[in-house]
Amino acid sequence: MRYSFALLFAVFSFAAAQTRSSKRGLVFVPNPSNPEDDTIWVQSGSDLTWYYNYQSTPSPAFDGVSQDRFEFVPMLWGAIDDTSFLESVRTQIDSGREIKHVLGFNEPDSQYSGGSNVEPSKAADVWIKNIAPLAEKGVKLGLPACTGSWGGLSWLEQFLGNCSELISTEDDKKNCTYDFVALHWYGNFEGLASHMGSYAAAFPNVTQWITEYNFDNQDLSATQAFYNTSSEYFDRMDSVSRYSLFGSFRSEDSNVGPNAVMLNNAGQLTDIGSWYLGMSGTNIDPQSGAGAGGPRAIVPGAMVLTMAVSMYFVLSSWVLL
């Protein structure tokens, strides 16, 4: 009987992979050598509703896409010595672009590749000059996205303390305001859930955005299982407003392992890539490429659901026997 229930769970997990969600967004990291890949994320039927590109201005690749369908979220990647970020976002708003949210510094607690390596005191000064004023325009402010290490929360606490000191006077104590926290995670699901719990404890009743996440450098089955479990978790958690899987590139361009990607080496959607867009699986090996066999089989979502329902009744009869 235990085996029957396990098999039933596996079947429904597979069917659930083709779910849709308004929370999903795109971490846009294009390869100039493959510009044709850019249109994949906004093709008809794509589930993605927003994107960011680590920059203050939108990507030209999406100029023809409606802002209502695909919201651009500016990011101040690292420290700057002027107010150019503020001016850029204000100019976009004044010219008619609807900017609803902004993201803070990218992994300021890290000096390694991808991290902006900013001291909390410096970040607080830059935040006050470039990000905080955008609240007056009705823009929602996201706290800096630290790494998944234990030092990330400590960095944020010091940052907020420094920020408060800069805007307070002896007679008027103030705190820097923000609207949501941004999290990064690379590892298994148990670690991800624990990390989210730590942020929930540190920032109670504050919405979370998971702006980078993946189970890096794993075999394909582990990577797919992580994707299915984490996306289902995000979708049912009211505390998670948005999430964006880091993997919008080809396998050969990946720095998170060859299987943790949305495209194979020929620019075709992998299972994870297609599921993430709210479509049915492709059964394409992430490490395959042009002329390397292509898709093994394509099972339409409706067929998967039919198989799952049929299997349910079969297994139910086994359990009742």
pTM, two decimal places: 0.85
Inter-helix orientation angle 84-94/120-130, to 10°: 30
Contact call for residues 216 and 272 (beta carbons, < 8 A): no
Q: What is the pLDDT along the chain (321 residues), one digit of tens a residue?
A: 343 333 333 444 444 466 889 999 999 999 999 999 999 999 999 999 999 999 999 999 999 999 999 999 999 999 999 999 999 999 999 999 999 999 999 999 987 777 788 999 999 999 999 999 999 999 999 999 999 998 999 999 999 999 999 998 888 888 999 999 999 999 999 999 999 999 999 999 999 999 999 999 999 999 999 999 999 999 999 999 999 999 999 999 999 999 999 999 999 999 999 999 999 999 999 999 953 444 433 333 333 333 333 333 333 333 333
Q: Is 316 among the domain residues? A: no
Return d(Cα 169, Cα 223) in angstroms, integer. Answer: 50
Cα–Cα distances in angstroms (integers) from residue 23 to residues 47, 102, 193, 209, 211, in the given order: 9, 16, 17, 9, 11
DSSP 15-48: HHTT---TTBEEE----TT-GGGGGGGGSTT---
Return d(Cα 43, Cα 247) in angstroms, integer. Answer: 17
Dmax of the chain from CA atoms?
Answer: 76
Closest CA to 69 of 26, 131, 35: 26
Q: Is 85 among the domain residues? A: yes
Q: Is 95 among the domain residues? A: yes
Closest CA to 240 of 200, 190, 186: 200
Return the half-sphere exposure (C-beta side, CA atoms, 13 A cut-off) of residue 128.
18
Return d(Cα 143, Cα 78) in angstroms, integer. Answer: 13
Please give the tally of structural domains in the chain.
1
Q: Is 213 among the domain residues? A: yes
Q: Is 173 among the domain residues? A: yes
Q: Is 139 among the domain residues? A: yes
Q: Is 214 among the domain residues? A: yes
Contacts of 79 (CB under 8 A, 6+ apart): 105, 116, 118, 122, 123, 126
Beta strands, E only, the chain: 25-27, 50-52, 71-72, 101-103, 140-142, 180-186, 207-214, 240-243
Give the CATH number of the domain where residue 145 resides.
3.20.20.80
Q: Is 215 among the domain residues? A: yes
Under DSSP, the state recorded for 231 is H
Domain range for residue 158? 20-289
In the beta sheet, which residues pair with residue 185? 213
Calculated CA dihedral for residues 61, 64, 65, 68, nearest 10 degrees: 130
